[in-house]
Amino acid sequence: MWRRTLRAALRAGLSPGTTGAVAEARAARVGSSRFAGSDSGKAEGPSPGGRVSAELIEHLERLALVDFRNREGVARLQAAIEFAGQLRAVDTDGVVPMESVLEDRCLYLRADDVVEDSCVEALLQNSQWTVEEYFVAPPGNITLPKQSEQDPVTES
Amino acid sequence: MAAPILRCARAGRCWSLGSRPRRTRALFAEPVPGRVREQSSAALQEPRPGAHEWAAVVGLEIHAQISSNSKLFSGSQVSFLAPPNSSVSFFDASLPGTLPVLNRRCVKAAVMTGLALNCTVNKKSLFDRKHYFYADLPAGYQITQQRLPIAVNGCLTYSLSVGAHWSPSATKTVRIKQIQLEQDSGKSLHDDTRSQTLIDLNRAGVGLMEVVMEPDMSCGAEAATAVRELQLILRALGTSQANMAEGQLRVDANVSVHHPGEPLGVRTEVKNLNSIRFLAKAIDYEIQRQIEELRNGGKILNETRAFDEKLGCTVSMRDKEGKQDYRFMPEPNLPPLILYDAESLPTAADPQQVVNIDWIRERLPELPSVTRGRLVEQYGILPEHSFALLNEDGLLEFFQTVMKETRAEPKKVIGWILSTFLGYLKQRNLAVSESPISPSSLAELLSLVDSKVISLPAAKQVFEELWQNQGKTTGQIIQEKKLELLQNQEELEEICQAVLAEHPQEVMAVKKGNQKVVNKLIGMVRRATEGRADPIRIKQILEKQLQ
């Protein structure tokens, strides 16, 4: 679970704007303590200033698809962990995690009407590579499956 | 949970869809080293009970696309086969600054489905983000309901067919763990040769209901029947078109095997199942594969496998680098979804902003199980006939239209529809909607049989003609082929008289008391009329003349 905190902190540390960083890290922490059940999240994790293992870096790189395996990247990661570590100073025992700052508001329900027109041209302008009306992505982080989950219509 | 035990004697039958049933039987007949404690010949022939028994455990995760005009969180259109990226809003493409706005129709659809599956509908449910990187998921996460889904703890009852017939005794129940609302992803088209992936986001953000079924099933047929029943329920509700070939119903199966009384085995997940037939086939193959693997001293890996339709087997999908870490977190942009019932309904609430569970419950359409019961009661047909009527798309409507327009008895009509009509369709691989015979012409034909205008064999002939020659009416065919029964009493009496005169021996036999010979005479009269006489009427005339 400390990985989640770390990841959020990492994002906070790496994001250019820092205004949202604290809130984001907090949201992630609130979320993670929910998912981890009763575990308070203070017992585990690296000690403040602890080294980040190569294995963990690789795991993070896979999840984030970001290459930060150079000295600067790791230093930033380290700083982010320390930054997030400050949150551990807050005693949250017995406090029900907040789901959202809007949790006491009504969730607005929209009528099932089509109100958006096609904006394919505008959208495709955001993409460097397109083929016909498709976005083009690299084969990506997932190995190209032979039995792909392709559209059954195009298969037949 | 009592998982039915598959004994070796039944293995061949139950797994007849598997690739190597013969080898299976041979394997089952062999005693397993290590399981046989006493090496006497008796022990070898009859190993300890349970040693050769395997129980298979099957659970399903089903994604049903919600039938709605617009997407779950955006106002762009839900359309199948639209040009690529033509119904994608800025939110669906996950552009910065866009926010989700929940579609009321999707909420209602999930509530309806939950109620139809006997679920408890949660008056408060929550949305979560499930993260993974995939090019057809532009946000990098899917909004789903991980912690508190919209409906929980339901059940689905289905009836398994035994052989070719439905048997009410084989009624089974599978528990529904939960139903959750979530977004669909876009579609990826992999271009292996150019090593690129084409992304179409039309489907991204379409509303899905994920139905999680507990592992209460034990073979492919059970899973297939449960999915078929769910499909019928979703269609009856109108909450999903549930067409598997079009991806509106996607099924993943979790399969494991174990010895009864022992802990459950390691499970595999079988994906890529886009028809009910393949679902059954894939599960049975996977059960068989796991048993063989364990028999041969191998191990089952907790992995994702895909079903290869051409080879008829499951193959391991290269897994995504170890265990997936979805990094679930609460969706910060959506407050909890609150539903109301008659009691909790706020007085001054805007009706457009309130979903009332009780209101929906009272307006649920008739479910397939109720329809079947009604058919049995209304028409006096057998339960298995009601299953058959619902199992074929459009057949029930066809039957009901015929019933409205014909004087024939329901039992006669159902016979014609399930044997003759369905037989013709199956033989030519047609759907009910593609039938060249309209319900009205069949109704007319059956009325003619009922009022004895034509005989049964003649009716079959007319049916064949109707099938071949579209546009001709039943009346035209009967006239052209001279198929109507002889109605003229005098003419019939004359023919009978002539037959009697030609066969004095038979007449003598009858007069001596041999009533069986009457049937022979009836046959002769029918031949003389080229099958155009009603045997019952001939019998009456003959009996009168023989007195």
Taking only the tens of pLDDT, chain B with its 547 residues reads 444 443 333 333 333 333 333 333 333 333 333 333 333 333 344 444 555 789 999 999 999 999 999 999 999 999 888 999 999 999 999 999 999 999 999 999 999 999 999 999 999 999 999 998 788 899 999 999 999 999 999 999 998 866 555 555 588 999 999 999 999 999 988 887 888 889 999 999 999 999 999 999 999 999 999 999 999 999 999 999 999 989 999 999 999 999 998 899 999 999 878 899 999 999 999 999 999 999 998 888 888 888 888 888 888 876 544 567 788 999 989 999 999 999 988 888 888 999 999 999 999 999 999 999 999 999 998 888 898 899 888 899 999 999 998 888 888 899 889 888 998 888 888 888 888 888 888 888 888 888 877 877 778 888 888 888 777 777 777 777 776 766 677 777 888 888 888 888 888 888 887 778 888 888 888 777 777 777 777 888 877 877 7
Residue A142, pLDDT above cutoff 80: no
- Suggest the residue from B66, B85, B94 to mutate for an interface test with chain A (most A CBs closer than 10 A): B85
Same domain, B100 and B154: yes
Domain final position from B308, B330, B352: B330
CB contact under 8 A, B84 and A4: no
Residues of chain B neighbouring A136 (CB-CB closer than 8 A): 196-199
Residues of chain B neighbouring A3 (CB-CB closer than 8 A): 325
Residues of chain A neighbouring B189 (CB-CB closer than 8 A): 134, 150-151, 154
Domain final position from B277, B302, B330: B330
pLDDT tens digits, B343-371 = 988 888 888 999 999 999 999 999 999 99
pLDDT level of residue A151 (50, 70, 90 thresholds): very low
| Chain B nearest CA to A76, separation (Å) | 21
In order, the DSSP letters of A80-94 are HHHHHHGGGGS--TT
Same domain, B15 and B160: yes
| Residue B102 contacts A where some CB pair is shorter than 8 Å | yes
With respect to residue B175, please indicate whether it lies within any of the assigned structural domains: yes
Residue A25 token pair: 């890290």
Contacts of B185 (CB under 8 A, 6+ apart): B134, B136, B137, B142, B203, B204
| Residue B245 contacts A where some CB pair is shorter than 8 Å | yes
Residues of chain A neighbouring B305 (CB-CB closer than 8 A): none
Same domain, B168 and B39: yes
Domain count, chain B: 3
| Chain A nearest CA to B200, separation (Å) | 6
Q: Which residue range(s) make up the domain with B517?
A: 490-546
With respect to residue B92, please indicate whether it lies within any of the assigned structural domains: yes
Q: pLDDT value at position B338?
A: 94
Q: pLDDT value at position B51?
A: 56
**A59-82 average pLDDT score:** 78
C-beta neighbour count of A41 within 10 angstroms: 17
With respect to residue B215, please indicate whether it lies within any of the assigned structural domains: yes
Give phi and psi for B135, each to the nearest 5: -65, -25
Same domain, B195 and B97: yes
pLDDT tens digits, A41-68 = 333 344 445 577 888 887 777 766 677 6
Selecting from B76, B83, B101 the residue whose C-beta is nearest the C-beta of A133 gives B83
A-facing residues of B in 120-139 (CB < 8 A) are 126, 131, 133-135
| Residue B362 contacts A where some CB pair is shorter than 8 Å | no
Same domain, B105 and B135: yes
The candidate with the shortest Cα–Cα distance to B310, out of B335, B282, B286, is B282
- What share of residues in chain B are helix, strand, coil (percent, to 5)? 40, 20, 40
With respect to residue B203, please indicate whether it lies within any of the assigned structural domains: yes
Domain limits of chain A? Answer: 2-89
Same domain, B152 and B98: yes
Domain final position from B281, B299, B330: B330
Selecting from A99, A119, A120 the residue whose C-beta is nearest the C-beta of B336 gives A99
With respect to residue B382, please indicate whether it lies within any of the assigned structural domains: no
Selecting from A101, A107, A138 the residue whose C-beta is nearest the C-beta of B336 gives A107
Q: What letter would DSSP give residue B419?
A: I
A-facing residues of B in 305-324 (CB < 8 A) are 306-308, 315, 317-318, 320-321
Q: pLDDT value at position B534?
A: 75
Residues of chain B neighbouring A140 (CB-CB closer than 8 A): 133-135, 197
- Suggest the residue from A110, A129, A143 to mutate for an interface test with chain B (most B CBs closer than 10 A): A110
CB contact under 8 A, A123 and B84: no
Same domain, B461 and B535: no
Residues of chain B neighbouring A121 (CB-CB closer than 8 A): none
Give phi and psi for B61, each to the nearest 5: -120, 120
A-B contacts at Cβ under 8 angstroms:
193
- Rounded Cα distance between B536 and B529, Å, is 14
Residues of chain B neighbouring A106 (CB-CB closer than 8 A): 335, 338, 353
Selecting from A107, A110, A132 the residue whose C-beta is nearest the C-beta of B335 gives A107
Same domain, B306 and B407: no
- Pairing label, strands B124-125, B337-338: antiparallel
With respect to residue B485, please indicate whether it lies within any of the assigned structural domains: no
Selecting from B105, B190, B330 the residue whose C-beta is nearest the C-beta of A31 gives B330
Searching chain A, which residue's CA lies closest to the CA of residue B79?
A114
Question: Per this entry, what is the length of chain B?
Answer: 547
Same domain, B244 and B265: yes
Largest pairwise CA distance in chain A? 59
Residue A110, pLDDT above cutoff 90: yes
- Pairing label, strands B120-121, B124-125: unpaired
- Percentage of chain A with pLDDT > 70? 53
| Residue B109 contacts A where some CB pair is shorter than 8 Å | no
B284 vs A104: which has the higher pLDDT: B284
Residues of chain B neighbouring A115 (CB-CB closer than 8 A): 70, 75
Contacts of B340 (CB under 8 A, 6+ apart): B123, B346, B349, B354, B355, B356, B357
Residue B543 token pair: 């009996």
- Rounded Cα distance between B394 and B388, Å, is 11
A-facing residues of B in 323-352 (CB < 8 A) are 325, 327-332, 334-338, 352
Same domain, B173 and B298: yes
Give phi and psi for A128, each to the nearest 5: -75, -40
Q: pLDDT value at position B306?
A: 87
- Rounded Cα distance between B398 and B430, Å, is 14
In order, the DSSP letters of A6-37 are HHHHHHHHHSS--TTHHHHHHHHHHHHHHHTT
pLDDT tens digits, B183-195 = 999 998 888 788 8
Tell me the pTM. 0.75
Residues of chain A neighbouring B306 (CB-CB closer than 8 A): 145, 147
CB contact under 8 A, A100 and B196: no
ipTM > 0.90 (yes/no)? no
Kindly report the CATH number assigned to the domain that includes residue B496. 1.10.10
Residues of chain A neighbouring B196 (CB-CB closer than 8 A): 131, 136-139
Same domain, B218 and B115: yes
CB contact under 8 A, A35 and B325: no
